[in-house]
A and B are shown apart, each in its own frame.
Chain A
């Protein structure tokens, strides 16, 4: 079999870690190759080497059988390699068309020949059955469409090898299905695809062959049809994974959080919430299911205090918090894992320690009269990093040195540490590897069993079903259904999520 990509014995060292240790990856021509492993396993590093973003210390790279040195992404593109990053690299206030031709625009004299570009792009879209409005401004299209734009952008550069770095982390289930469909189309046209992910279902559904990495080395390699979820997860984590969450018995106590008739005002294309009634009791996880963009963001933010309620009351531990500031709500026992850990949950250029400090820096003994006690802070951060298994040599390192899963553990450690009575957990495991998911789910169960309340908002229906004692379904800003654990299967909930069904009365 001819290989499109041969990475032979690649070693890459970073200060303090070996990111890739004698890694060999072979990708056949015209196949969809899954590359899986936990965050920090070295998947992104090896792909960055292939794409010329960084260079290997040792090892050989062959593309279509010829040995190559890829010094920059320009070299990679010349060799027909395109990469689509987890975080899109698009200019938000330009049109789709301009984003696609950026850097390789056809020219007519000194000006850009947009007409010619449009014809070329439309041809590509037809060939691969992908439709995007070329005149839309990028900031106004959905995440799934942005991804399409990225793919078209790569195809426009005539790539024959496409690297997708965790493309599904930001997609809804339907968008994911569409992406997998697109990948198959690309394959039919002779494209080779490397698909990086840590969602096992997708790997099993979409790929031909798979390479598993752990801690910088390849731990498994083979045909996808010989693999299954259990086998893959053991290769990824290096031990058996416990898929069952260790719960105590469900015995809800008094009401912790109560929303009565809460509505928000519509703002800038966001779905507001309408007349929300819900309760979260002690010792209970309430899951909010729904297709993203159905008011979940407003629900989270109105409780956390980031936006004001237009109408209605919010009480926490029988205290009206609807008029309180964000800080006062937090001091009253609320903690909040935000939907987007990079945009709101962290400051990546600050140290891990500084990120852990956010919700308690003004409290003694961390500071007194506005002056920090750095010794105590250092000790405390080390303790938290150890307790919450954050993999870092020292908490004084910048947060961006951590992998996504470890960043999320930092967010989790910070929000867990204040011993909250109610935790809003929004997308707690988004973009996080299997080991960290297992850990975070365990911690949420622990919090529930210790008599605290959790409001879980997740786009992953599996996660909602596994964790929640009660499930609420949101559709167009309203709660349209309520189920207790085991009362409904995912198809039934799915029908409510899409607005096909609706319960008449619900107490919330």
Chain B
């Protein structure tokens, strides 16, 4: 219908020309995104090459990184999946508030609070409840994470506290609180003296591991993570809340002028973010550790920031970047296990890969500038 009206306004020749251009352009967008994926793969290969040179220069066997990564995508893919699940959730937890221009650096703290809430519930409820107990623990974890996230959000809304500072500092509160709970309040009297851990949860309440991947600790958390990511995409693109988040994130003045309550949107996104972070906590303790262990969280929250940024805060992208990070993390530990490369060097190599891959954007910009200059000298002659 609209094409008909367009026809009336413009002469036919011009309209056809526009249409052809349109088709080329849209095709170009597809081509561009394919190229981007290709480049990402190429950058990974380059990164591996750099790491090999680095290893050789440091006096180690350069193929150590290949051995580690190869195992992470073949024999030990289970390990990669195990790490991908919490990373995916952490990526989502970061990207929800980020869409509303709110930086949640406190995902780690919210993970701890979720884990504490879940552990308390699982230890308090009778064993016979089985999976119902686990469900209660999941709910408790989400509420725990959300409430903890809301502390920072409320401070922002009522006292205009900088959220980067408040969320970051609250991490320490949560981490130390977890140590207290694990080492004192819920401590297992039979545990080794040097170990700060609660009693084991009743086995009936454990989150199932994936039988296919046994004996790895890869668990159904990966399905939960994918489901949560898809739900987040649904919220972003199909709901009024997603629209509010986008408007508050892009122009808060505009949102307010239209009658939106930006504060309420900040509170909502932080609550959602905290709930997702809480899920990481309950999955880690109920499927992997089976008890509340102080320091169970190797700062998933900060990895989540990189996962989310690399995916350009797009939930679908988070699925892929978190898998990539899972492989990297697992590849690193395999490299450590299978070769004589020490842990510190392994961490450096993984950091090199992350930096190289994320530098993709910067490289593209440099190239563009160089091309412009080249064209300049060419035609000025």
Contacts and interface: CB of A to CB of B under 8 A. Distances in A.
Contacts of B239: 367, 370-372
A5 B176 CA distance: 69
A362 B240 contact: yes
Interface residues of A, number: 44
Interface stretch (A254-262, A337-345, A496-504): A337-345
Contacts of B253: 343-344
A488 interface: no
Interface stretch (B69-77, B179-187, B369-377): B369-377
B254 A346 contact: yes
Interface in B223-270: 238-241, 243, 246-247, 250-251, 253-260
A326 B256 CA distance: 8
A345 B22 CA distance: 29
Given A68-B380, A370-B241, A393-B22, A386 B5 contact: yes
Given A372-B238, A382-B2, A344 B254 contact: yes
B259 A15 contact: no
A372 B241 CA distance: 10
A69 B239 CA distance: 49
B25 A72 contact: no
A1 interface: no
Contacts of B380: 67-69
A9 to B, nearest CB: 15
Given A326-B256, A344-B253, A358 B240 contact: no
B194 interface: no
A359 B375 contact: no
Nearest to A71: B376
A362 B261 CA distance: 13
B195 interface: no
Interface residues of B, number: 30
B18 interface: yes
Interface stretch (A125-133, A141-149, A154-162, A347-355): A347-355
Contacts of B379: 69
A427 B238 CA distance: 34
Contacts of A367: 239-240
A75 interface: yes
B21 interface: yes
A230 interface: no
A17 B240 CA distance: 33
A325 B259 CA distance: 7
B18 A386 contact: no
A271 B253 CA distance: 20
A374 B240 CA distance: 11
A55 B372 contact: yes
A16 B21 contact: yes
A214 to B, nearest CB: 14
A358 B250 contact: no
Contacts of A72: 372, 376
A350 B5 contact: no
Contacts of B18: 16-17, 393
Given A69-B379, A306-B256, A359-B259, A15 B240 contact: no
Contacts of B238: 371-372, 374
A348 B251 CA distance: 8
A346 B239 CA distance: 20
Given A371-B239, A386-B5, A55 B375 contact: yes
Contact of A16 (B25, B251, B372, B376): B25
A325 B263 CA distance: 14
Given A361-B240, A371-B239, A374-B238, A344 B257 contact: yes
Interface string A217-256: 0000000000000000000000000000000000000000
Interface string B1-42: 010010000000000001001100100100000000000000
A405 to B, nearest CB: 16
A352 to B, nearest CB: 13
B254 A345 contact: yes
Contacts of A16: 18, 21-22, 25
A116 interface: no
A160 B255 CA distance: 43
Contacts of A484: none
Nearest to A329: B259
Contacts of A306: 256-257
Contacts of A87: none
B232 to A, nearest CB: 15
A386 B2 contact: yes
B12 to A, nearest CB: 16
Contacts of B259: 325-330, 359
Interface in A280-314: 304, 306
A336 interface: yes
B257 A345 contact: yes
A372 B243 contact: yes
Given A347-B250, A358-B254, A393-B18, A15 B376 contact: no
A357 interface: yes
A366 to B, nearest CB: 9
Contact of B250 (A330, A350, A382): A350
12 contacts: A16-B22, A70-B376, A72-B372, A326-B257, A336-B257, A338-B257, A346-B254, A347-B255, A350-B251, A371-B238, A372-B240, A382-B2
Closest 3 CB pairs of A and B: A327-B259, A71-B376, A358-B258
Interface of B: 2, 5, 18, 21-22, 25, 28, 238-241, 243, 246-247, 250-251, 253-260, 372-373, 375-376, 379-380
Interface of A: 13, 15-17, 55, 67-72, 75, 304, 306, 325-330, 336, 338, 343-350, 354, 357-359, 361-362, 367, 370-372, 374, 382, 386, 393
Given A336-B257, A347-B255, 19 more contacts: A16-B22, A55-B375, A67-B380, A68-B380, A69-B380, A306-B256, A325-B259, A326-B257, A327-B259, A344-B253, A344-B254, A346-B251, A347-B247, A354-B247, A362-B240, A371-B239, A371-B240, A372-B243, A386-B2
